[in-house]
Structure 1
């Protein structure tokens, strides 16, 4: 099933409305078929809807969100993807960042966490996405240059804006700019928590440099 969404893309001198087309992928067999036909390959944009909710007495608060990633390679029944992924709790505690752009290979038939077909997996296309093999190769190369980046921001540099920047040159998160309710509250709280966290990271780095200096 095809759906459309209007994604606002900011340029330096004006704003323009970009029409995105989304095709829902119903199950693993359809995904594999798209991979074999070449409809999903390097520089493909995939969105996964992740249902989240918290129950408090008779009230249910929904904070479902979308996760975005870009495909860099397709082999057999595996996808190699690039995305902003959350760090492990142990790494966060050790001040090694809250999220990082990583590349990983996903076995599409086994990884239900990355590809939640029940909630929704979508192939996203847009008019200004790369079309030719050379354009797609250039986009993948551009994305790989940011491997290891840990400058995650809830509203300005998340998984959505990373994929948007890679494929269109415009860093924008439609989800973040249109967040509402509990998801917005979580986002605002996380934003300030990340700022505090970054300050602690800077203090840790400064202390490390001072210790190294005096150690010499």
Structure 2
């Protein structure tokens, strides 16, 4: 689904593609799965002494995933405060053992300094980091035709443009629900990378 560059910020919408906060927890799971595969990819590349580019791109993308997840979490907390509070027990993002492992390499990241004003920039950088990793994969001729979703980088740029063009409306219901609805599309596309491509690349690369 290509992001729409025109968003109605005038009022409340009637529904979400993913009603309530459940969509976030699905998205969080997919982010965790991709992070785990990127960790394995980095370890495999290091042990095999293969592409330094793959190693660098994978660690940068892992760092970006946390920042993106944090911004989506903030958005969900605004939209569904009761559901998020009941489901995450105050701050599940920082308490789980898996999250501790996820954050172990982010020694200089302070989530208090990251808010919706950085959303457009973070999506642009997310696009850059995704595209950089896919470009690294393209250096292996046997995998060129298997690389998933080259369009994701461009689509993330389009999403970033939406939020940049509506920067004064970032806390409106319409923009926040638009970000919420985008999770399903982004999550599914990241999931294909995590479950369909990276494991095969690790096994055969």
**Greater helix fraction, Structure 1 or Structure 2:** 2
TM-score, with length taken from structure 2:
0.26
